[in-house]
Amino acid sequence: MAEVNNERTSPMAKTWFITGTSSGFGRLLTERLLVRGDRVAATVRRPQALADLKAHHSDHLWIASLQMTDSDAIKATIGKAFDDLGHIDVIVSNAGYGLFGAAEELDDNQIRDLIDTNLVGSIQVIRAALPHLRKQHGGRILQVSSEGGQMAYPGFSLYHATKWGIEGFVESVRQEVASFGIGLTLVEPGPTQTNFGASLISSQSEEIYANTPVGDLRKAFAEGSFDVKGDPHKMVEAMIASVEQNPAPRRLTFGAAAYASIRSALQGRLTELENQKDAALAMDIDP
């Protein structure tokens, strides 16, 4: 772990704790915050991944190696960050990855590792941060989810399970801690020009799924035929700006594709619910 100046750099400067900072949103967010003079406590699996940033921002960058499947380490690392830095304004639970394959194609180890990282790891980050945020009378938590937290593609069943799961967790916790001045926001990007695809893990394909929607998506990945338009730099700026909003926004939807897919999913569910209204109301005990 690296030592960092325990004093705020300016009255407007903030201190952030961010998981998964070696690439993607975590890396871009860390870079942008350091440039603007904020302090960042960054976690990575390999600290050398941030060596270039440390060389230029040694007084503002605190680094710790963290494996998101180790709940004890998550608690200890967050505690150490608060002890060393004195005050942390924003927690960004960002670490995670994707897993592609039909549900029955996935093996048990792939399933367990994904759930332990994306869902249990994210839950433990939030749980570990809450006592410290309460003690300092408030703070903000950004949980990076996905459009996939409200809709679903074939072939991503376990990934969606982790994102739908963390969204339900955050929806509940935000009600539990609002009176302590702690705000929680779900960040829901659609397809974005990060390296998410490079870290995507795929199952062994089975021939039976070749001519199904899963097979179609697998072919599209292989051909690189997706048109990804999401701008991660704009999204990072919006994430930073969101912590100034009061109350904390419940969700941040990023990208035209995310807006369209989530809107379609919500409209479809609402239509189905309304179609079942009479049956639902008839299920109560008769007076």
Alpha helices in the chain (DSSP H): 24-35, 51-56, 71-85, 108-114, 121-135, 157-177, 213-223, 232-242, 256-275, 277-281
d(CA 100, CA 67): 22
Q: Are strands 139-144 and 182-189 parallel, antiparallel or unpaired?
A: parallel
Partners of 163 in the β-ladder: none
**Residue 93 — left, alpha, or beta (φ > 0 → left; ψ -120 to 50 → alpha)?**
beta
Residues 51, 42 contacting (CB under 8 angstroms): no
Tell me if residue 259 is catalytic. no
Choose, from 153, 159, 209, 259, the residue flagged as catalytic: 159
Residues 41, 18 contacting (CB under 8 angstroms): yes
Partners of 61 in the β-ladder: 40
Q: Which residues are catalytic?
A: 159
